[in-house]
């Protein structure tokens, strides 16, 4: 288990939404690797249990709680169960999101737009409001919202998703301002194209993949663990003076656009 003092999370606890696969799983695994006790959460409890087994298998400590982020009651249950089992919540990673529509904004159904905004923005606010007062009682806390480079660029086919991820950046800045006096940091991570199931439609399309790779200074897309490292930074003492910020990991795509 990693023991570098600056990145040591021993004695800390973390809740990660949408952590049964992809970026969320990578973050949960790395937080546990650096010493945190982790609550793994997603809509599919069997998938969560597999992550728990993986973490416990290398000597970490993890637990699972089923949660559909579209339900305020389910989020409250996740917060309550996490505090009950872990004893406290030091780190909250808001990773779960959805994108049921791929196409121009002029054709998006109201139902799809509402689902994207509710799951990607409102649910983050709900969960933050449930956990931040608890963090205040602890005297400190770390909140990490997984946004996207879609939140800082435009897209002809991911417009609603882009709007939601832009809104998440505003949410981060506002929460950081509101809770900073309580010694709580709030930051965002903005991944580019990462090789996950969530983004499979993009990286499995040869034309899309080759275009992104050609435009990226690193000439490749990212892996989930390359997002997890930044999460460890923000969750640990190394990131204690960082708040209200966004960290971009995109292979350099946004600097060459």
CA dist 40 and 49 (Å) reads 8
Instruction: Find the DSSP H helices in 102-193.
Output: 110-117, 123-138, 159-179
Q: What are the φ/ψ torsions at residue 89 (nearest 5 degrees)?
A: -130, 110
Catalytic residues: 161
CB 107 within 8 A of CB 149: no
Residue count of the chain, please give it: 257
Encoded tokens for 35:
């010493």
> What strands lie across the sheet with 13-16, from one edge to the other?
61-66, 37-42, 13-16, 91-94, 141-146, 184-191, 246-249
């Amino acid at each position: 288990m990693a023991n570098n003092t600056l990145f040591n999370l021993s004695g800390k606890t973390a809740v990660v939404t949408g952590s049964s696969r992809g970026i969320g799983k990578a973050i949960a695994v790395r937080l546990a690797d650096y010493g945190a006790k982790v609550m793994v959460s997603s809509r599919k409890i069997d998938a969560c249990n597999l992550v728990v087994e993986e973490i416990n298998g290398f000597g970490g400590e993890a637990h699972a709680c089923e949660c559909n982020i579209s339900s305020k009651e389910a989020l409250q249950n996740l917060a309550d169960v996490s505090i009950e089992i872990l004893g406290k919540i030091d780190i909250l990673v808001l990773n779960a999101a959805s994108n049921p529509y791929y196409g121009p904004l002029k054709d998006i159904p109201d139902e799809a737009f509402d689902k994207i905004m509710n799951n990607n923005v409102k649910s983050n606010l709900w969960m933050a409001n449930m956990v931040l007062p608890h963090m205040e009682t602890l005297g400190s806390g770390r909140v990490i919202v997984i946004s996207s480079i879609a939140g800082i660029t435009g897209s002809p086919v991911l417009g609603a998703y882009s709007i939601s991820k832009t809104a998440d950046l505003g949410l981060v800045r506002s929460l950081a301002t509101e809770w900073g006096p309580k010694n709580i940091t709030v930051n965002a991570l903005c991944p580019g194209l990462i090789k996950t199931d969530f983004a499979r439609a993009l990286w499995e399309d040869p034309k899309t993949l080759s275009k992104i790779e050609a435009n990226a200074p690193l000439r490749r897309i990212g892996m989930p663990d390359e997002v997890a490292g930044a999460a460890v930074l923000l969750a640990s003492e190394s990131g204690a003076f960082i708040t209200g910020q966004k960290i971009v990991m995109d292979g350099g795509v946004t600097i060459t656009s």
